[in-house]
Amino acid sequence: MKICLPVEQLNGLDSAIAPSFRAATKLLLVDSRTLECLNIDASDGSCAAVPMPIDAIIFAEGIGRGMFNGLKQNGIRVFSSAATTVREALVALIAGNLQEVHAVACCGGDAHSEPHHAHGGCGCSGHGAEAEQGQPASGCGCGHH
């Protein structure tokens, strides 16, 4: 299985997973059978840098709704993980301990009724204290920023 993960710095299996897939400037492609790693520069945007074909991605805290939908439409499985390194995430995936994400919903209306993390938020990081204080927040295309 070929798995793509957002990382803070390129350090093979010991790479720290970046919190936001969409904001990551580096991606790591790992073959789960051979553990071979391929470094990917995503400084021009992770959406365009995701290599094809891949089987799955693993992210930590956030993924944009549009990116998520595009991945699912292409048959790519999406997993969320609390692991801090690529190695930990792969061990959890291989052991069957990662939950596959089947939907990413944006908030609706003025109240944030959805939890704003990997399984419920739009992944844009625009729903935190800055957004609540009326400061600009990054958009996710959901029309609520």
Alpha carbon distance 67, 91 (integer Å):
25
Give the domain CATH number at 117: 3.30.420.130
- DSSP three-state, residue 104: coil
Q: Give the rounded percent of residues in the chain with a pLDDT score beyond 70.
A: 72
For residues 34-54, give the mean pLDDT: 86
What pLDDT is attached to residue 28? 94
pLDDT digits (tens, 9 = 90+) for 94-142: 999 998 998 886 532 222 223 333 333 334 444 443 333 333 333 333 3
Q: What backbone torsions phi and psi does residue 130 show, to the nearest 5 degrees?
A: -60, -45
Nearest CA-CA partner of 20 in 49, 61, 68, 55: 61
pLDDT at 48 over 80: no
pTM: 0.70
- DSSP three-state, residue 130: helix
For the chain, what is the domain count?
1
More confident residue, 129 or 66: 66
124 within 8 A of 62, measured Cβ to Cβ: yes
Q: Which residues pair with 3 in a beta bridge?
A: 30, 56
Range of the domain at 94: 1-145
* Token pair listed for 127: 């729903």
